[in-house]
Amino acid sequence: MKLTTQVIAEIYKDKPIESLKDINVSKKEIDSIADISACKELRKLNLANNELVDEKSIAGLKDLEQITLLNLSGNKFKDFTGFQHLQTLCVLNVSHNELIHMSPHITRLKHLKALILNHNNLLEIENIEPLLELNTLVISHNKVDRVPRLSSLLQLTKLSAAHNQLTEVPDLTHNVLLKEIRLNDNKITQIPETLRKCNAIEIMDFGNNNLTNWADIAAFGSLTKLHNLNLKGNPITKKKDYLEKILDLVPSLRILDGERFDPKFLERKKKQRENVNIVEKKQRMKRMKLQKEKKEKKDRGDIDEDGDVQMTEADAPVVENKKRKVKAAEITKVKSKKSVTAESSDEPALKKKKKAASDEKDLFFLKPEDKPVEKKKVKTTKTVTAKKETVSKKEPAAPVAASVTPALPQKPQTKAETGVVGVVDKSKKLAKAGKKTTDVVAALESESKKQEASNSGTGLDVGGWD
């Protein structure tokens, strides 16, 4: 597949290719690159894991004026031919290729800061002296048996030459800014005295080498900023009092052979363990409490011997809520029943009340002759003269008088009590209405005078008029 501007435009449909700053076309089986100088703003280009081989395959990159990072890992380059045109590069990754040697074309990359060449077939490190701005050099997993003096690389801070065939540490006298050295998995037998001048070193990995005696690592004593040291896989680690003597030699160490042991870290780790223990203790106490409650329920007979009713700590609130809901429903049911019965029992009384009220209302507006006669217990009163009593015995109305009980002395009744007021009011209303009616009051008065004039009195006064 050939990488062209059209391919890039298809991959990045939402953006114009002129404004693209970062293009990732890894794993596209690209074997050649056409002119992509139309990507004027391009700074980072990832061409990893493709089929690029030589200068012709990357000819389309030479006119990229602002490119700073180029990833060509996982391709099939054998040298740096064609890279001389990419003079603006700061980071070049040509790892996992088939590099045999470092051709002089690389010397043209004056602004290169990081050169990554791991997992190749390099036999030696060459042509890197002119790379004055280089601060990171990775040449691990090659077949290098010697690293030359890197006196010109004053900006170098990281050097990795692990998994090679080195027998000695390179002269790093002039690389005073060096902070990280990884020379593990080689055949180094001694740490040179020149390393004492690299006072800025913080991380150092010499694992799986042939360091045997205490004198072989004496130079570590001058590295006051060294806090991470790996010597695992060396014979010296099997010596008696290894840890104590290393700490005496390098008091600034916090990590040795991959294990951290500085006081602050250990204290923090201890607190974390204590917190874990506290949490476990709380959980254990909860379990014990639940078991105790279960046992008490068994003793009370709330659950059977098989423990069918089991409640976990998480289920307890749910069950409690369910119980409350059931209880509330029962209470509501009972209340509703009570209200229904009360209403049903009140219905006859209300009906009676309404009926009585309606009867009273109807009777009030009836004429005196239309009113129904009510049977009342007649009470007689003592007459003023004994003469009337004797006369009443002689009258033919004796059966009525005999049935009446002797009258008790009582107060004379008012007109309101006898119902006369209602009749008078009614008669007045009828008179106003212009209807011809008999004067009931006058008739009653005349009737009473006639009875008094005659000696045929019944012994009933106004109270017995009805």
Mean pLDDT confidence for 454-465: 44
> What one-letter code names the amino acid at 353?
K
Half-sphere exposure of 282 (CA within 13 A, CB side): 7
Q: Confidence class of residue 413 from pLDDT cuts 50, 70 and 90?
A: low
* Order of strands, sheet of 203-205, starting from the edge strand that comes earlier in the sequence: 22-24, 44-46, 69-71, 91-93, 114-116, 136-138, 158-160, 180-182, 203-205, 228-230, 255-256, 259-260
Q: What is the pLDDT of residue 400?
A: 37
Of residues 366 and 90, more confidence is placed in 90
Of residues 196 and 348, more confidence is placed in 196
Of residues 146 and 453, more confidence is placed in 146
Task: Give me the chain's average pLDDT, please.
Answer: 77
Q: What is the pLDDT of residue 444?
A: 63
First to last CA, the chain: 130
- DSSP code, position 175: -
Q: What is the pLDDT of residues 228-265, one digit of tens each?
A: 999 999 999 999 889 899 999 999 999 999 988 777 77
Q: What is the DSSP string of 53-64?
A: -STGGGGGGTT-
> How many Å apart are CA 228 and CA 255, to the nearest integer?
5
Q: What is the pLDDT of residue 265?
A: 77
Q: Confidence class of residue 306 from pLDDT cuts 50, 70 and 90?
A: low
Q: Are 97 and 76 spatial neighbours (Cβ–Cβ below 8 Å)?
A: yes
The angle that helices 440-453 and 420-433 make with each other, rounded to 10 degrees, is 130
Q: Confidence class of residue 320 from pLDDT cuts 50, 70 and 90?
A: low
Q: What is the pLDDT of residue 206?
A: 96
Q: Are 156 and 150 spatial neighbours (Cβ–Cβ below 8 Å)?
A: yes
Q: Are 131 and 156 spatial neighbours (Cβ–Cβ below 8 Å)?
A: no
Q: Is the pLDDT of residue 392 over 50?
A: no
Picking from 74-78, 263-267, 281-285, which range would have the lowest pLDDT averaged per residue? 263-267
Q: Is the pLDDT of residue 272 over 60?
A: yes
- DSSP code, position 357: H
Q: What is the pLDDT of residues 21-44, one digit of tens each?
A: 999 999 999 999 999 999 999 999
Q: Is the pLDDT of residue 193 over 90?
A: yes
> How many Å apart are CA 94 and CA 116, to the nearest integer?
6
Q: Are 174 and 195 spatial neighbours (Cβ–Cβ below 8 Å)?
A: no
Q: Confidence class of residue 382 from pLDDT cuts 50, 70 and 90?
A: very low
pTM, whole model, 2 decimals? 0.59
> How many Å apart are CA 226 and CA 206, to the nearest integer?
13
Phi, psi of 69 (to 5 degrees): -130, 130
Q: What is the pLDDT of residue 381?
A: 40
Q: Are 248 and 255 spatial neighbours (Cβ–Cβ below 8 Å)?
A: no
Which residues lie below 8 Å from residue 257, measured CB to CB, with a gap of 6+? 207, 229, 230, 231, 232, 237
* Contacts within 8 Å (CB) and 24+ apart, 55-59: 55/81, 55/82, 56/32, 56/82, 57/31, 57/32, 57/33, 58/33, 58/82, 59/32, 59/33
> How many Å apart are CA 411 and CA 118, to the nearest integer?
135
Tell me how far apart the 2 most distant CA atoms of the chain are, in Å.
Answer: 169
Residue the block writes with tokens 């009140």: 346
Q: What is the pLDDT of residue 74?
A: 95
> How many Å apart are CA 333 and CA 402, to the nearest integer?
63
Phi, psi of 59 (to 5 degrees): -65, -30
Q: Is the pLDDT of residue 117 over 60?
A: yes
Cα distances (Å, whole numbers) of residue 9 to 32, 43, 57? 17, 17, 20
Mean pLDDT confidence for 392-412: 43
What tokens were used for 44?
A: 């980072």
Q: What is the pLDDT of residue 452?
A: 54
Residue the block writes with tokens 């990159």: 61
User: Phi/psi class of residue 48: alpha, beta or left (left: φ > 0; alpha: ψ in -120 to 50)?
Assistant: beta
Quick one: which of 198, 203, 200 has its CA closest to 180?
203
- DSSP code, position 396: T
Bridge partners, residue 160, by sequence: 138, 182
Quick one: which of 146, 203, 194 has its CA closest to 174?
194
